[in-house]
Amino acid sequence: MSTDPGPLADREWRLLREESRDGATQMALDEVAAETAAAGGPRTIRLYRWEPSCLSLGRHQHPDTVDWDACEAAGVDVTRRATGGGGIYHDHDGDVSYSIVAPAAELPDDLMASYHLLCEPILAALRALGVDADYVDAERPALHQPACYLRKLNPAHDVVADGGAGRKLAGNAQNRRGEAVVQHGSISVSVDAEAHLDCFAAPETTPAAFRERVGGIDELVDTDRDEVVTTLEETLATWAGDPPEETWTDAELRRAEELVAERYGDDEAWVRADPRELER
């Protein structure tokens, strides 16, 4: 897989370099980017960091699967994503997250084809770092369903080491919001199995089994988080046709604040709500 410009490189994109924000704001900004793209504004590629470390729940995950006391004691923030899947512990130092946002009309209707198109620069970046990364070569059974990284592995979107046969390195999810698609993902630079499992109530596995399923990039190649971020930003930018480096507009930041208040930061109505009662 090359780092050449991708099939959407002739469109208007913007690059937002990595920013550290709390989990609720990061999820709100994904939605804001979707609104911007749907309204005819630029498509967005961005990297982001979770500050503090955060457990992001899947859209349909029940709050009873979370050990709320353990998260509070460890200073781990909790929010809920608009995308599905299980919960992901985003370690401030060990996780790098990205988003790619574009109009839905520009992407394949087939979900797997859309995933593979938008994962091109992610795989290219991992390979540029020296990691033999690819989609998992076959489905693998779940170890703990509430934890995204321990769910059944799917060749559509789960990226692993050793050419498809190794441990999971990255998970990706998509959400179509109106006329735009948001694909975001979490990439493991380093793994803290104990911290990840501590976020869940009665996990059905052990840290040792977690480490057998999930690996960090720093276990495979001589690198650090800064190099991973730089490589991802450069590869994403090349894929998108070297767009200008920009920042959020004042209007977008105000809209994000509204979404945090209305949804992503609302503990009762969104984060800890019964997912069957959530509106889209």
User: Out of 72-86, 124-138, 168-182, which region has the weakest mean confidence (pLDDT)?
Assistant: 168-182
Contact present, 154 and 162 (Cβ < 8 Å): no
pLDDT over 50 (residue 171): yes
Mean pLDDT of 134-151: 95
Per-residue pLDDT tens digits for 5-59: 999 999 999 999 999 999 999 999 999 999 999 999 999 999 999 999 999 999 9
Strand partners, 159: 135, 170
Which residues make Cβ contacts (< 8 Å) with residue 121, sequence separation at least 6?
Answer: 3, 6, 100, 232, 235, 236, 238, 239, 240
Query: pLDDT tens, 243-264?
Result: 999 999 999 999 999 999 999 9
43-99 pLDDT, tens per residue? Answer: 999 999 999 999 999 999 999 999 999 999 999 999 999 999 999 999 999 999 999
Q: How many CB atoms lie within 10 A of CB 9?
A: 14
pLDDT band at 178 (very low <50, low <70, confident <90, very high): confident
Q: Is residue 3 scored above 80 in pLDDT?
A: no
At residue 130, the pLDDT reads 98
In the structure, what pLDDT confidence band is assigned to residue 280 with cuts at 50, 70 and 90?
A: low
pLDDT of 1 higher than 50:
no
Whole-number pLDDT of residue 169: 97
